[in-house]
A and B are shown apart, each in its own frame.
Chain A
Amino acid sequence: MDKSTAGPRVVVVGGGATGCGVARDLILRGFDVTLVEYGDLGCGTSSRFHGMLQSGARYAVSDTVYAGECMRERRIINKLAPEAVEETGGLFVSLPDDPADYGDKFFAGCQEADIPVRELDPADVMASEPAISRGVHRAFAVPDATVQPWRLLNLVAADIRRRGGRVLLRHRVTSFDMTGGRVRAVEVEGPSGSLRLEADAVVNAAGPWSGEIARLLGQDVALELTKGSILVFAHRLVTRAINRCRMPSSFDIMVPTGTVSLFGTTSEVVDDPSTTLVRPQEVQDLLDAAEPMIPGIRDRRVLRAWAGVRPIVKPDNWPSGRSLPRRHTVIDHGASGAFTICGGSWTTHRMMGEDAGDHVASFFGINRPSESATTPLSPDGGGSAWNPTTNYQGVEDAQTRKRTLCECESIDRDLVSQMVNDEGLKRFHDLRRRLRIGFGPCQGTFCGSRLAGLVAHLDQDFPAQKELEAFWAERLKGATRTAWGHHARQIILSDAVFRENLGIRLDDKAHPAGDDR
């Protein structure tokens, strides 16, 4: 066994960016780590954001220290996992409505935060980004990038497993054994029944559900939950992440990620951490807000809309009306061995893990510094940079067009077979997240049935028909909110294929947690 299994036992609750960051940091410090996730990795907030790996420029004026931290972490992540990062670059553009003096403050803030920033000629920017407004009067280039959340989290989880840790997916925490006022064990329930995980410490990294987990620990954590909704456009409208050059707020960012582009984000306070409802008005508000940045945006096809819930810890006596700090908080729940880590961002998740790791290590009196920034994620030292054209280029190189399973994302049938055989993944939503099956314009219409055929062929006992019903019901849910024009034609065609050709009935029962993104 790996040396790490000798250390104190820590259960990390939550398999999003935060929990994965914490679990990896702990296992590198020699703890015996078990990560518990109620759905699939990153199926909550960690995949329900705009996909940015921030240079920090967004916060260059509002929080220069945090901006510098983002830049530092963004460099680390790219070094650790280049195969999950696309170096898109980012632009901050001043449009006529944006404050004239922000550009200079922005430039100074970036320099102070050690973010490489360059002012560009607006004419060059408009020429190289034909979709954006012709009214750009200042423009800055910063090293923003995008991250493929599921890809990165699966790399982290694989590293944890390789080092002797456990990652339990689809396991829900039901209670904590806190006999004697200290963490003794965590009771979880999974697909094959209940489990008792003996533990010396617990880190609650459950994101918007942290409040619920804290209650099971007998603690009260004051969170503000804000829902952010995002529109998915059918192809890349821009080549770089485009930000408005003004104080960061809602409705101000367009990000090219994968084969699509995302525009966001709304912001409204909600009570329910599980809410993913995008209100019709939010869709209209997003389109209205995007129009000045991308004129004619309403003529572009929107594939779907989805929402995530950000958990932000409300500091005591925080003045109302002021936007809550972006930074994370680690709460030490006294001498019980229980901790909650909350807030923060994708970009800083490793640093958050380090911070939580410091707290846990000091609780056990262990003086071993974090190694998460310097230890390679993969044994082979990381792959080549992520590029969304890789799949298509691969099919063209090998001339395997007739073997394509998902046409929109150019995914080869063999890639899917390999994942089913090697990793035992059969759930359509799990395969979808790993491979991006069904993410394109047809939203799973053609690949869905091919996937059902393939999985049923590989495992005749797998309920492929039922799985397909749930798959389409879920795709339909996100896609109908934006179904007008050509996308409405798509949805009607797709629905006809599923219902009339394949004879499936829509299964509108509750889906397994987090499958609707």
Chain B
Amino acid sequence: MTTTHLDRDSHEGRGFSVPLMTPAMVRQSMDNCTKCNVCQVHCPVAGVTDAFAGPKYAGPQAERFRIIDAVDETAPMLCSGCGICTSVCPNDVAITDIITLAKADQVDRAGGIGLGQRLLNRPELIGRLGSLAPWLANGVLANSLFRQIAVAVTGVSRDAPLPRFAGQRFRRWLKHLSQREGPQITYFSGCAVDHYDPDVGIAAVSVLNSLGYKVTVPPDACCSLPMLSSGDFETARPRARKMIELLTPSAGAGQTIVGTSTSCTLTLKSKYAAYLGFDDRQASEVAHAVSDICGYLLEHHADTFAKASARVPKRVLYHGPCQLRGHHIGQPALELLRLVPGITIELSQASCCGVAGTYGYDQEKRPIAVDVGRSLIEQIADSRPDLVICDSETCRWNIEQASGVPCLHPIQVLAQAMELTSGKVFQD
């Protein structure tokens, strides 16, 4: 199969190239399946429920029928989109993407998605609303009566790990930040940092500043991943295009675009092409400019962290999020953390925490998500680390809620190791 991607050499010092596959290429990859069952065995969802027939069934197998005629099926709907099947496939079948395309077909046939998922798909909108009066919004969300009503109306699980609104704290901090001139880099903050988790963004910008970069932060916008993974492609399409336009000035100027959300960055890197067929020059340029922040730091600044780190005498448990595998960069955060003196790292034995973006927020899927994440939560309960470290936001909220142990982004620990205190690095 042929894949289109820009030559990595011509983008030295920029993002890492992940081959761009269009929907047609995604579908064609079904031919590579040898039915070997490796994906079936590794699928976290199929491992805990018979209601999901597994990635082989819902992916390359069912695809042979779907391309013949429209079918009404539930097979793709319980996939969490974690991407583990694709990463373990020995034959390069784009399994998760095949399933997500099928999900979008079913959503289309059903005439759209439900109210709950529509809400979950608008983290930036909800964030903005909540930001108007965070204290009020948080109070309402914490109210159990409200949660009960919300479940009935929206189907969002009452136990879902909803984050607390943080107002526009990251943007306000940014407004007062004065930066020195230096090599330019773009930081894609994403909805999580803009509305719920400002400390991650503050830590990221602080680390980049201290490495000498002048950081550009594009306006607050959502990458549309929740829409894409729930199959609402038509709403996502114009938003994704707008996102590309927002990032084009940076990509066009040869800047790397780093992000702290592994799933958002993966969306920018490869999902716009795989799901929406965006393979034009502008979209490719943005896709190839994007990098996971830890991947970028490991590639270019490992020396700094090796030399200059302060002691962080903490026992941490590192959980690499599922979406990180799609980046094809290993676990760069783990390698950076290992350079920090004083830190003791335990590795998560689980492949997925269960929440998988907005999957674990849905009332119907919540029990599955809890079962998928059980082994991780048990491991945390057994080893009682000071902190859990994870690159993805909904994973962190989920892990923190389920385990009661604070969960941070690796960049927050790295900021601590660089003795940067502009953000609140560790939660009290």
Contacts and interface: CB of A to CB of B under 8 A. Distances in A.
A399 B51 CA distance: 9
A441 B57 contact: no
Nearest to B37: A446
Interface in B20-44: 24, 28, 30-36
A436 to B, nearest CB: 12
Interface string B26-68: 0010111111100000000000001001001100011111111
B32 A235 contact: no
Interface stretch (B71-79, B142-150, B164-172, B392-400): B71-79
B403 to A, nearest CB: 33
A407 B91 contact: no
Contact of B34 (A393, A401, A441): A441
A388 B57 contact: no
Interface string A257-276: 00100000000000000000
B68 A236 contact: yes
Contacts of B72: 393, 396-397
B53 A402 contact: yes
B63 to A, nearest CB: 8
Nearest to A396: B73
B428 interface: no
Count chain A CB atoms within 10 A of each CB in B33, B64, B74 and give the residue with the most.
B64
A440 B67 CA distance: 15
A184 B299 CA distance: 90
A402 B57 CA distance: 10
A301 B75 contact: no
B110 interface: no
B47 to A, nearest CB: 14
A389 B65 contact: yes
Contacts of B63: 235
Main secondary structure on B side of the interface with A: loop
B34 A493 contact: yes
A339 B64 CA distance: 45
Given A299-B1, A301-B32, A396-B75, A486 B91 contact: yes
A82 B170 CA distance: 66
B2 interface: yes
Contacts of A130: 24
- Interface core residue of B31, B53, B74 (most chain A CB under 10 Å): B31
Nearest to A88: B68
A210 interface: no
Contacts of B30: 235
Contacts of A451: none
A141 interface: no
A324 B56 CA distance: 48
Contacts, number: 84
A440 B28 CA distance: 15
B35 A489 contact: no
A393 B72 CA distance: 7
A397 B73 CA distance: 7
A408 B53 contact: no
A393 B71 contact: yes
B53 A441 contact: no
A408 B35 contact: yes
A408 B24 contact: no
A300 B31 CA distance: 7
B9 interface: no
Interface in A374-416: 387-389, 392-393, 396-397, 399, 401-402, 404, 407-408, 410
Interface string A214-256: 0000000000000000000011100100000000000000001
Nearest to A485: B32
B2 A299 contact: yes
A397 B34 CA distance: 26
Contact of A399 (B56, B69, B74): B74
B34 A490 contact: yes
B71 A396 contact: yes
B31 A392 contact: no
Interface residues of B, number: 30
A335 B72 CA distance: 61
A512 to B, nearest CB: 27
A301 B36 CA distance: 16
Contact of B35 (A235, A256, A397, A446): A446
Interface in A420-451: 440-442, 445-446
Contact of A401 (B28, B32, B57, B64): B57
Contact of B65 (A259, A441, A490, A493): A259
A318 to B, nearest CB: 42
A132 to B, nearest CB: 13
Contacts of B75: 396, 401
Given A441-B33, A486-B31, A259 B1 contact: no
A130 B28 CA distance: 12
Nearest to B36: A493
B68 A388 contact: yes
B369 to A, nearest CB: 21
Contacts of A300: 28, 31
Contacts of A397: 72
A392 B71 contact: yes
Nearest to A233: B31
Contacts of B73: 392-393, 396
B222 to A, nearest CB: 31
Contacts of A239: 68
B31 to A, nearest CB: 4
Contact of B50 (A234, A402, A410): A402
B65 A392 contact: yes
Given A299-B1, A407-B61, A486 B34 contact: yes
B420 to A, nearest CB: 50
Given A299-B2, A441-B31, A489 B62 contact: no
A388 B31 contact: no
Nearest to A260: B64
A239 B67 CA distance: 9
A235 B91 contact: no
A219 to B, nearest CB: 46
B34 A489 contact: yes
A40 to B, nearest CB: 26
B35 A445 contact: yes
Contacts of B1: 299
Nearest to A296: B2
Nearest to B27: A235
Contacts of A441: 31, 33-35
A446 B2 CA distance: 30
A489 B83 CA distance: 23
Contacts of B36: 493
Contacts of A489: 34, 91
Given A396-B72, A402-B50, A486-B34, A235 B61 contact: no
A486 B64 CA distance: 16
Contact of A387 (B2, B31, B62, B69): B69
Nearest to A442: B35
26 contacts: A130-B24, A235-B67, A236-B64, A259-B64, A299-B2, A300-B31, A301-B31, A388-B65, A389-B66, A392-B65, A392-B73, A393-B65, A393-B71, A401-B53, A401-B57, A407-B35, A408-B35, A408-B61, A410-B65, A441-B33, A441-B35, A442-B34, A445-B35, A486-B34, A486-B91, A490-B35
Interface of A: 130, 234-236, 239, 256, 259, 296, 299-301, 387-389, 392-393, 396-397, 399, 401-402, 404, 407-408, 410, 440-442, 445-446, 486, 489-490, 493-494
Given A236-B68, A486-B31, 19 more contacts: A130-B24, A235-B64, A236-B67, A301-B32, A389-B69, A389-B71, A392-B65, A393-B65, A396-B74, A396-B75, A399-B74, A402-B50, A404-B57, A407-B56, A408-B61, A410-B62, A441-B35, A486-B91, A489-B91
Query: Which 7 pairs show the lowest CB-CB distances between chains A and B?
Result: A301-B31, A401-B53, A392-B65, A490-B34, A396-B73, A442-B35, A486-B32
